[in-house]
Amino acid sequence: MKKLLSILLMLASGWTFAANKPQLDFTAPPFNPNAIAIPDDGYDGTLASMACMNVTGPGGAIDNMSAVIAVDHPWVGDLVIKVVAPDNTVLTLLSRPGFSESADDGTDCCGDSSDMSATAPVNFLNAAATSGENMGSTITGSQVVCTDDGICDYAPAPGAGPGTDFSQFFGMESAGTWQICVGDSASGDAGQIDEVVSTLNFAVVVAAAANFTPPPGTAISMDGTTGPATGSIVVGNDAAATADIDSVTCILTGPDAAQFTMITPMPAGPVAPGGSVNIDFSAAPGPGDVFNATLECLVVDGNNTGIYRWPVTAFGAAAIIPTLGWWALLMLIGLMVLMAWRGHRFVRS
């Protein structure tokens, strides 16, 4: 079809041709300040030959995923669309629909001649009824995918490109920089990708995630000046978590550990999402006592099982220790008592 169109155009205008497509970009997309140009006929199978934009993953294990792609292009059969994960694994969403490419290298031509418009973004999702390879197959070369055929959802169709479908990313950590890349495999029709509209949608699983008050490492001071000293931390589970913190097990270690008593029964937990558990402990320092220990908690959850520590100090009232002045006063009193006694003896004798 494209070949026929090319020949007709050549006969009509005398334009020069390479391969099977006219060299003139006669349907240049409208100017879009949010768009990046897709190098016309630049695609050679590499990511470097594509127009790529970044999408930041939200964090959490991927449970499901889809893509929204907004492209202005007058010949969808030129296009290759890929999603690149932070670990550089690639899913090919679309590979030159309507053209049976023998290799993922951008050679030969031509696929479906339908247009794409950034004002009619298409969605890629595993559950879509229509394969991406059939994009534009029911409309003419001057009609627009999604707008004119009403088909806006497509299943990934890697063709000769790498990948299978979005399930290849399920279970992968979503955090990091993802890329959406679009390549153009044939000369004569150029396009651009709208960076604002195009995006990846992530459904993520957030396992249990502990938070602490005060944060680990914060010194905990226990005032025992008027009675037993008590200390406390709070271990919480993030509200967005999808699993319980399994257990929290705390001990007091260090040279004065024997002076402290754990009040909260161990192990504590489980802690449901959005919930928390207080870890309470006590000591009974006497006047002048300063007890030092380390609170050490083993937290077991789906995200960050680990040991967390807080330095702890329990102090009692000030010690009753006579100062030099007190000693001098005591000696003076003693001397006076002695002199009085001797004076008494003198009077008696």
Residues contributing to the site for Ca ion (CB under 5 A): 40, 74-75, 78, 95-96, 99, 113, 115, 141, 159, 184, 186, 189
Q: Are 264 and 319 in contact (CB under 8 A)?
A: no
The token pair at 134 is: 């059939």
- DSSP letter at 208 equals -
Close Cβ partners of 24 (under 8 Å, ≥ 6 residues apart): 15, 188
Residues in the chain: 349
Within 33-128, where are the H helices?
Answer: none
Return the number of the residue (144 or 271) whose C-beta is nearest Ca ion.
Answer: 144
CB 52, min distance to Ca ion, A: 17
Compute the distance between CA of residue 281 and CA of residue 295 in angstroms, rounded to an integer.
9
- DSSP letter at 3 equals H
Sheet holding 122-124, edge to edge: 130-131, 153-155, 122-124, 61-69, 199-205
Return the number of the residue (99 or 310) whose C-beta is nearest Ca ion.
Answer: 99
Return the number of the residue (102 or 349) whose C-beta is nearest Ca ion.
Answer: 102
CB 243, min distance to Ca ion, A: 42
CB 36, min distance to Ca ion, A: 15
CB 140, min distance to Ca ion, A: 8
CB 69, min distance to Ca ion, A: 16
- Decide: helix, strand or coil at residue 110: coil
Return the number of the residue (95 or 199) whose C-beta is nearest Ca ion.
Answer: 95
Compute the distance between CA of residue 14 and CA of residue 195 in angstroms, rounded to an integer.
37
Give the DSSP H/E element, type plus range, for residue 220.
strand 220-224
Return the number of the residue (3 or 309) whose C-beta is nearest Ca ion.
Answer: 3
CB 25, min distance to Ca ion, A: 8
Within 95-219, where are the H helices?
Answer: none
Return the number of the residue (20 or 123) whose C-beta is nearest Ca ion.
Answer: 20
